[in-house]
Amino acid sequence: MKQQMGMGVVKVCAALAIVLLFVIIHLLAPDFLPELFTLLASGDIPRTVEYIRSFGDGAIVFAFLLTLFTNTLGFPPAVIFSTANVILFGIVPGIVLACVAETVGATIAFILIRFYFRESAKKAIAKSPFLSKIDQYSGTKGFIVMLIGRMIPYLPSALLNAVGALSSIKLREYVIASFVGKFPSTGIEAIIGHDLIMKQEDNTRLVVVIIAAGILIYAAIRYEKRLMREEAVSQEMEKKE
């Protein structure tokens, strides 16, 4: 009981800290948050590009933080910012920036959702044999499932963040699967968005992104299989002892 009460206090304090952060930002720059949320709600890519560009030398840092924030929030669609990033910083730098920022944002969302809701989810899962099997599956095959999910262009990131956080997937596997899986989906979304906005077309870039994505995915799957083999060997040795 005391442990549950202590955890409850920690959760409340964490929520208050987040609220306090927004209050401080608003007090320091009263126009910033209203302007930012208006921009986010509009989903206007050219306007987003100009807004980021207005930060001058700090544009790349702001673009990173903005992309991170929206992926943590899960709104609006990440394609708006991945497209803006490639328009502003170039195809390769823009995709890399978007992938890293989106992965960090998705990781923060994962940690927050798991921190606040995983225990409640576990109680619900324990009452259902079907959900228990799915949860067990997510613990052993969660990496592949998350990798495939992240690879699908235009699939809502918020949905995958929530599914991952409420499942048994390990944080390490979630982060790797998210980063590797985001590369092809973000690259495809960004290049298509870039060509539509800039009225250009170059299929070579898409081919390069797809080939590079294939190499990354192959390496990630090999890495995961190696970890699983090492874990299996470790468990076998523990049984013998």
- pLDDT tens profile 164-211: 888 888 888 899 888 988 888 888 888 877 777 776 666 676 677 677
Q: Is 122 exposed, middle or buried (0-12, 13-18, 19+ CB in 10 A)?
A: middle
Domain ranges of the chain: 31-240
Predicted TM-score (pTM) of the model is 0.75
pLDDT winner (highest mean) among 82-86, 112-116, 214-218, 236-240: 82-86
What is the C-alpha separation between 223 and 226, in angstroms, rounded? 5
What DSSP designation does 56 have? G
For residue 76, whether the previous peptide bond is cis, meaning omega lies within 30 degrees of 0, is yes
78-87, 106-115, 222-231: least confident range: 222-231
- The number of helix segments (H) and strand segments (E) in the chain equals 10, 0
From 79, 101, 60, 74, select the one nearest 185 (Cα to Cα): 79
| Mean pLDDT value of segment 39-47 | 80
Answer for the pair 80, 43: CB distance below 8 angstroms, yes or no: yes
Instruction: Supply the pLDDT for residue 97.
Output: 93
